[in-house]
Amino acid sequence: MKKIKISKKYFIKTIIFSVCLLFLVLFYLFGWHSCVKNNSVFEVRQGETVSSIAKQLYKKDLIDSIALFKLSVRGNGGKVQTGKYEIPVGTSVWRIARKFATGDIATVTVVIPEGTTIKQIKEILLGVSALTGSVECGEGTNLPICNLQEGDLFPDTYRVAKGTSRLAFLDLMRRKMEDTEKVWEKTGRIMPKTLNSWNDIITLASIVQKETPKISEMPVVASVYLNRLEKNMRLQADPTVVYAITNGLGDMRGNPLLLEHLKVNSPYNTYIHYGLPPTPIANVGLDAIKAVMQPADTNYLFFVADGNGGHKFAKSYEEHMKNQAVWRSIKKMKIKN
């Protein structure tokens, strides 16, 4: 019988080919192949084992091998984190295990604009279907989140896990504003001499926030109100009246503010009461807070809209009347056009 000799070079090539083939097969099975045909959401609950998770994934047709999933979990550290996970079409078993290991949970981005009131924020949250639960506390609950006043919440863009409760979201906003106050306390409680507390700062900041959308203008608007406070003049801020007549909503819903509204009997009406309102009239961002704590150095006492999204400022009532006349003519032209 004739012996077949296998050269050393051939043998090495065979080994290399086999290893490469094995690598390709493993790559396909773990990292490329997927049986996820539809975008899905899968929840890993507290206390569940890798085996029970694997069985659920298999039943939902998100994996086609329990063994491969377990191996993938081991390859990613052997742990899974609780939460809801988005599993898009075409996600491989390795990527699913990777998501679970790193806690790459399904999230939702919620934008809370600066200058919104508590009522408006709650309306926004109720409109986000990815959040859960009520925006109101149950009867008998006495947590900080259950006794909110304007200015307690920090408007921002928040990214939270899908399924987050709305009360938990509100508490996240509350704690962020609380942290902002703590920073102020640590830096020496600096504030203009006409103000006496954090509530005063946020109250004036809320008026500034509602008066102008322009960040560059905020310190000037703040200086106007601080100058009026120093001279014991009424603030005469329209947003405080809006807050009063809308019962805390802070939005006229397209209706005009009339002269008769300026006479409404409310502690928030700064046309008839001196000083600041009892509480803020909205929730504010850092720009408005900074504007109050670092106002522009001006002698302005009045301002009126300029027709371009900003304001004209005046040091005297006579100058203010001229600016108002210009604004009225601009409004008439806009109505005609």
Per the domain annotation, does 34 fall within a domain?
yes
pLDDT at 18: 60
Residue 190 lies inside a defined structural domain of this protein: no
What is the rounded end-to-end Cα distance, in angstroms, of the chain? 106
Choosing from 82, 102, 122, the residue where a domain stops is 102
Residue 50 lies in a domain: yes
| Tally of domains within the chain | 2
Torsion sign across C-alpha atoms 251, 252, 254, 258? negative
- Give this prediction's pTM: 0.83
In a domain, 79, yes or no: yes
Residue 304 falls within a domain, yes or no? Answer: yes
For the chain, the residue count is: 337
| pLDDT computed for residue 143 by the predictor | 87
Pairing of strands 302-305, 311-314: antiparallel
**Per-residue model confidence (pLDDT) at position 335:** 67
Residues of the chain with pLDDT under 50: 26-28
Task: Report if residue 260 sits inside a domain.
Answer: yes
The domain boundary, picked from 102, 123, 141, lies at 102
Measured between alpha carbons, how far is residue 184 from residues 190, 202, 205, 215, 322 in Å?
7, 12, 14, 20, 40
Among residues 102, 134, 149, the one where a domain terminates is: 102
CATH assignment of the domain containing 231: 3.30.160.60
Give the pLDDT score at 60: 94
Q: For residue 87, give its domain range.
A: 30-102
Q: What pLDDT does 210 receive?
A: 97
Name the burial class of residue 255, with classes exposed (0-12), middle (13-18) and buried (19+) by CB atoms within 10 angstroms of its CB.
Answer: exposed
* CA 15/CA 217 separation, integer angstroms: 73
| CATH number of the domain that residue 52 is part of | 3.30.1490.480
DSSP state letter for 274: -
Task: Please indicate, yes or no, if residue 252 is contained in any of the structural domains.
Answer: yes
CA distance linking residue 321 with residue 303, whole number of Å: 10
Give the pLDDT of residue 6.
56
CA dist 224 and 227 (Å) reads: 5
pLDDT of residue 27: 47
**DSSP assignments along 69-124, one per residue:** HHHHHHHTTS----EEEEE-TT--HHHHHHHHHHT---EEEEE--TT--HHHHHHH
